[in-house]
Structures are given as structure tokens and as C-alpha cells.
């Protein structure tokens, strides 16, 4: 944990034993880009995993990604990079109302705040600018057992913040499998329920949205991306217009979702590496509505209360991530500091059975 970057470099070695690296969070992407700069022998492997060097800054910086997307003619909400407190003041003086503040190198809604006025925005900016406390660092090391906690505490660019116009609508995501600027396969999902107003999706529904697909192909071709990348959208209420709000240069659990008429992106990638068509789906989903339960430990049975809206016939549960944390540390933390309860936000009702 004291040298996670060195550990990653040691595992990769000269890079000859690997064909691709699949990062699962933004901080690992930052580590790969750091190794790309420091270790020339790994540059080819890293570029064939996430994309070429000219795209790396765009992958890490939300503001630069949005500027690039707007230059390609994509629908992007009005936004501004905050270089000083005056930028935030000017933003609201220009007549902007409800807005969204986002911090670079954050995911899962941890670095996102919806604000209604200047006072709330200034408070959120102060919270973003604070360095990681020793108590929080200890929690990440001991309780969450996060191997990147020590390295990421001084990560350059972590404090960069942008303000973005709030789009009233429904969150959606397109996960795409890319190869040298070409989209091999993609999966688009719209959120039915989320963990809080800015958190991860707990229930999703598969959709096919031409605007989202076109944005994925255009951005992939411009940046010459390779690997798995996700695009976050807001589908505007009333018009269903897809506004691009974020790029996530990593894979997510939705890469394993498969239907009879659509293999999973993980299967397509494996087939691509092995040189044969995707294998037949063993456990295909029978409905476009899928429930994700990231809060349930691996192997733990789901009760009736876990199925949203009382529609167990329409929802198929999917375990999100493995559970590497020790349960006793969570019990201890719960005794010392009760967890903050965050309610789920529902955007639509599932169809009647």
C-alpha cells in the first residue's frame, strides 16, 4: 500500500506477458498514464489498453473532455473550469441557476455536488479543496483496504473542479469496447434507480439511443480510443435529448451483462483476443430491466426486500463487485460511526407484470 505504483510496475514487468490492461477506476488510469510517462518499455501496452498518448489528458480531465466533445458537435451542457473563486462568482452572476460541481479523478458520485446558489457552490468547493484527513486515510487503508489510498492522496489534478449547467432528466450510460478508434460493441443503459441523486445506478434498463451511439462513435474515433470506456449522459426530460456530461476511461460491471440478442462486452473482448466469435451465452438476461446490488456481499442471498418495487419477476439481480473487505472492520466502523443513510432516487416505474 505504501508503493502501489511500484507494485503495479513490478507486476507488469517489461509488459511482454500482457496484451491489455483493464483499469476499473479512475485512479488506476492515472497510474497507467504515470507509468506511460516514466517507463518507456510499457508505453505500447498502455496505449493498446486505453488509447494513445495525445488522448491521455482528455481521459483524466473532465473540462478538456467536454471541450473536445463540443468541438465535435456533440450536445454538451454549458460548463466552466474553476481556476479561482471569482470564476464561480461570475458563473452565477451571469444568470445560471441550479448547477453541478464536479471534481476530477472521482467516481461513483463522490466528487459531484448539485448546488442551487452561490453559497452552496462555495461550500462544495471548499469541501473539494480540503486534503484527505488522516482519519479518512486511515479508514481507506484499514476498513476499505484501498491499495491506492496512500498514493492518491497527493495525486496531481485531483482538486481540479468544473461547474456545469444542471440538466433535468434521467441519467444514462454507454459502455463501449474500442479498438484504435473504432467501436466494436456498445451497451447503453438508462438509470431507473440511483443511490442518491448523484450516486451510482442500482436499477438500470437497456435502451438503444441513436444519439448516444453516435456520440460514442465520434468521440472514440477522434481520440483513437482502445479498451473499455464509458460515457455518461443525461436524457433531457421531455425531449429525450442525450447531453454528454462525462467520460469514464474504465470498465464497469455492466460489461458482463448479456442477452440472447447481445453478447456481453467482456465476451466480445475475450473473443477478439482469442481470434474467434463470442461464445454462446450461458446465462442470458431475459428482460431489459436489471437490478444491480453493489451493497450486497458476494455470495449473500438477496431477500424479497432487495427487489425494487416488488417486481421480482421482472428484475434479475447481479452481484456488482467482489467483497474483499473484512466484515469485522465494517462492524467496528458501524459501532464507532453509524453509516449515513442515502435514499434511492427513482426515475421511472418498471412495466407492470
3-class secondary-structure state, position 217: helix
Share of the chain above pLDDT 70, in %: 81
Rounded to an integer, the average pLDDT of 266-281 is 86
Inter-CA distances, 6 with 3, 10, 25, 251, 325, Å: 5, 6, 18, 23, 23
pLDDT at 12 over 90: yes
The per-residue pLDDT for 285 is: 83
The per-residue pLDDT for 298 is: 35
Rounded to an integer, the average pLDDT of 327-351 is 65
Rounded to an integer, the average pLDDT of 28-48 is 95
The three cell numbers locating residue 302: 438477496
φ and ψ at residue 57, rounded to 5 degrees: -65, -35
Which residues belong to CATH 3.30.470.20 in the chain? 168-341
Inter-CA distances, 314 with 218, 291, 317, Å: 34, 9, 10
The per-residue pLDDT for 91 is: 93
DSSP state, 281? P
Rounded-to-integer distance, Cα 224 and Cα 179, Å: 8
3-class secondary-structure state, position 101: strand
The per-residue pLDDT for 319 is: 39
Rounded-to-integer distance, Cα 98 and Cα 92, Å: 9
Higher pLDDT, 104 or 349: 104
3-class secondary-structure state, position 335: helix
User: Is the separation of the CB atoms in 105 and 27 below 8 Å?
Assistant: yes
Which residues does 177 contact at the CB level (< 8 Å), separation at least 6?
183, 184, 185, 186, 227, 228, 265, 268, 269
The per-residue pLDDT for 158 is: 62
pLDDT band at 329 (very low <50, low <70, confident <90, very high): low
User: Is the separation of the CB atoms in 185 and 235 below 8 Å?
Assistant: no
The Cα angle at residue 229 between residues 325 and 110, in degrees rounded to 5: 45
Beta 99-103 vs 112-115: how paired, if at all?
A: antiparallel
Higher pLDDT, 197 or 257: 257
CATH number for 168-341 (one of 3.90.1150.10, 3.30.470.20, 1.10.10.10, 1.10.3210.10): it is 3.30.470.20
- String of DSSP letters for 243-276: EEEEEE-S--GGGG--BTTB--HHHHHHHHHHTS
Q: Which of 344, 234, 349 is nearest to 294 (CA)?
A: 344
The per-residue pLDDT for 156 is: 60
The per-residue pLDDT for 308 is: 39
The per-residue pLDDT for 346 is: 84
Amino acid at each position: 500500500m505504501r508503493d502501489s505504483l511500484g507494485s503495479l510496475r513490478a507486476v507488469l514487468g517489461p509488459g511482454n506477458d500482457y496484451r491489455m490492461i483493464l483499469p476499473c477506476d479512475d485512479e488506476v488510469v492515472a497510474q497507467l498514464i504515470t507509468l506511460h510517462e516514466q517507463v518507456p518499455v510499457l508505453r505500447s501496452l498502455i496505449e493498446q489498453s486505453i488509447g494513445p498518448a495525445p488522448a491521455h489528458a482528455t481521459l483524466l480531465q473532465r473540462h478538456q473532455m467536454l471541450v473536445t466533445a463540443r468541438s465535435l458537435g456533440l450536445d454538451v451542457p454549458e460548463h466552466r473550469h474553476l481556476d479561482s473563486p471569482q470564476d464561480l462568482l461570475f458563473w452565477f452572476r451571469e444568470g445560471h441557476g441550479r448547477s453541478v460541481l464536479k471534481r476530477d479523478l472521482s467516481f461513483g458520485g463522490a466528487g459531484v455536488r448539485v448546488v442551487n446558489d452561490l453559497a452552496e457552490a462555495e461550500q462544495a468547493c471548499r469541501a473539494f479543496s480540503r486534503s484527505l484527513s488522516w482519519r479518512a486515510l486511515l479508514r481507506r487503508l484499514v476498513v476499505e483496504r484501498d491499495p491506492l489510498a496512500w498514493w492518491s492522496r497527493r495525486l496531481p489534478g485531483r482538486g481540479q473542479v468544473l461547474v456545469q449547467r444542471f440538466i433535468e432528466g434521467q441519467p444514462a450510460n454507454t459502455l463501449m469496447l474500442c479498438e484504435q478508434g473504432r467501436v466494436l460493441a456498445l451497451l447503453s443503459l438508462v438509470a431507473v434507480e440511483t443511490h442518491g441523486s448523484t450516486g451510482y445506478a442500482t436499477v438500470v434498463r437497456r435502451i438503444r439511443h441513436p444519439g448516444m451511439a453516435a456520440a460514442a462513435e465520434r468521440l472514440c474515433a477522434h481520440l483513437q480510443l482502445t479498451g473499455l470506456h464509458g460515457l455518461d449522459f443525461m436524457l433531457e426530460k421531455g425531449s429525450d435529448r442525450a447531453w454528454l456530461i462525462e467520460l469514464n476511461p474504465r470498465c464497469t460491471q455492466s460489461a458482463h451483462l448479456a442477452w440472447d440478442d447481445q453478447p456481453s462486452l467482456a465476451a466480445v473482448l475475450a473473443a477478439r483476443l482469442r481470434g474467434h466469435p463470442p461464445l454462446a451465452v450461458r446465462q442470458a438476461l431475459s428482460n431489459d430491466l436489471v437490478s444491480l446490488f453493489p451493497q450486497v456481499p458476494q455470495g449473500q442471498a438477496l431477500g424479497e426486500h432487495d427487489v425494487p418495487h416488488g417486481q421480482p419477476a421482472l428484475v434479475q439481480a447481479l452481484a456488482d463487485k467482489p467483497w474483499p473487505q473484512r466484515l469485522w472492520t465494517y462492524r467496528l466502523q458501524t459501532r464507532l460511526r453509524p453509516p449515513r443513510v442515502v435514499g434511492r432516487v427513482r426515475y421511472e416505474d418498471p412495466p407492470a407484470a
